[in-house]
Amino acid sequence: LFKCVMGKILNWRNATEEEIINDLDHPVNKGMVLVSEIVEDLVIEQCLEVIDNKTTEKILGGFTFDNNLFSMSANAQTNWNNIPNIPDMFFPLKLSTKDDGVYMLELSNKQNFCLTALSFKYSTLQEGTDLKQQVKNSTTQEELQLIMDSL
């Protein structure tokens, strides 16, 4: 017997006589024993949205290179993606840090800077994708809660 209660689907079975008398192992309610909680699609969708938002927040929080924090706003990402196309004669390149400081990007760090920005973005996206897959694969409220608590 399945019953939807507050965003979860509860799986019940008939209680044994011993369970009714002693209230063993599982909560007994009106002759039924709670077997498991199955996560409802709406709850899963809400969790996926939270993961998307947390992933976006993490990316927008910026990345660290050479002990400096750099923005990952949409404009900043466009700028970082274009650095490989900047001719060598324009280096060192003056970059703004997230705290409005100035960082001089040397030609020797051009590729490392770009790879660090890309690696940060795509590893963060992959983390979000992995968490979303775990949410989709969860079958109980407890599993789902553990995943969401890890954020």
pLDDT of res. 57: 97
Q: How far is residue 20's CA from residue 109's CA, in Å, rounded to a whole number?
A: 71
Residues of the chain with pLDDT under 70: 1-39
Token pair 């939807």: residue: 4
**How many other CB atoms sit within 10 Å of the CB of residue 143?**
15
pLDDT of res. 35: 57
CA distance to 6, 19, 54, 58, 143, per residue, from 149 (Å): 19, 32, 12, 16, 10
pLDDT of res. 47: 87
Show the 3-state SS of 9-40.
Answer: EEEEEECCHHHHHHCCCCCEECCEEEEEEEEC
pLDDT of res. 29: 57
